[in-house]
Amino acid sequence: MIRSISLAARRGAAVALLAAATALPLTAQACDNVPDWAQGACNRLDQIWNQGNDELYITGYAWHNRAAYSADKIKSFREESWGGGWGKGIYDEDGDWQGLYGMAFLDSHGHVEPIAGYGYQKIGRVGENWRFGIGYTAFLTAREDIFHYIPFPGILPLASVGYDKATFYATYIPGGKGNGNVLFMFGKWTF
């Protein structure tokens, strides 16, 4: 068991690092050779990476929709999805949040799942410190039970509520009978 987790952790870390290293511009010159139609996106990613605040992510819970699984299958799942990661984020000129992140956590079967991606949320403010957001995340992930850790892309909705430097997030992974249908929850602390 420890050997398989260690192997999975190594694979997951390698995938996450490769995805982060290839997806992120490191300097303003990184956008010089990008086609005109992609300049805006490249410049924004560069801004997030170089000017964004550091963000610590802590994962914690994956609720499986009871209507999509048998009681026995639910019992076999690990719903505590402990893990974490690091990211960079900004509140842009419109007050909306945009960020880049990399995380690794235990999936429903106890295997390490790495993920690296971009998130965007339209932010509404309630008072000086409270905020809520709705948006999406586009990412690259890898799972042992899906393609045996061959990375694949995804896009999911992303909702949040935050106070000062703390933010609570939730996303829903859709699916059919016996797959997907998971509410994934995690937190973020902005430095």
3 versus 171: the higher-pLDDT residue is: 171
Q: Of 6, 70, 72, 107, which is the active-site residue?
A: 107
pLDDT of residue 7: 60
**What integer pLDDT is reported at residue 142 of this predicted model?**
96
Which is higher by pLDDT, 43 or 179?
43
Position 14 in a domain = no
pLDDT band at 33 (very low <50, low <70, confident <90, very high): confident
Domain that holds residue 164: 36-190
75-104 pLDDT, tens digit each: 999 999 999 999 999 999 999 999 999 999
Other CB atoms within a 10 A radius of the CB of residue 166 amount to: 12
pLDDT of residue 178: 78
Q: Say whether 149 sits in a helix, a strand or coil.
A: helix
Tally the domains of the chain.
1
Which of 64, 81, 111, 160 is the catalytic position? Answer: 64
Q: Residue 45 has what pLDDT?
A: 95
> Residue 30 — pLDDT band, cuts 50, 70, 90?
confident
| Residue 152: inside a domain | yes
Within-domain flag for 20? no
What's the rounded Cα separation, in Å, for the pair 43 and 67?
44
Query: Does residue 141 sit within a domain?
Result: yes
Is residue 12 one of the residues assigned to a domain? no
Mean pLDDT across the chain = 89
- In the block, residue with structure tokens 């430097």: 165
CA dihedral 126, 131, 134, 139 (to 10 degrees): 170
pLDDT tens, position by position, 158-189: 999 999 999 999 999 999 887 889 999 999 99
Q: How far is 158 from 75, CA to CA, in rounded Å?
A: 27
Give the number of other Cβ atoms within 10 Å of residue 191's Cβ: 7
Q: Are the C-beta atoms of residues 56 and 86 closer than 8 Å to each other?
A: yes
Question: Amino acid identity, residue 12?
Answer: G
Q: Per the residue annotation, which of 4, 81, 96, 108 is the catalytic one?
A: 108
The answer to whether 64 is a known catalytic residue is yes
- For residue 168, the domain's CATH number is 2.40.160.20
Q: Is residue 21 part of a domain?
A: no
Question: The pTM is what?
Answer: 0.82
Task: Measure Cα distances from 12 to 87, 119, 149 in Å.
Answer: 17, 20, 7
In a domain, 7, yes or no: no
Confidence (pLDDT) at 6: 58
24: in domain: no
CA 95/CA 128 separation, integer angstroms? 13
Active-site residue, 6 included: no
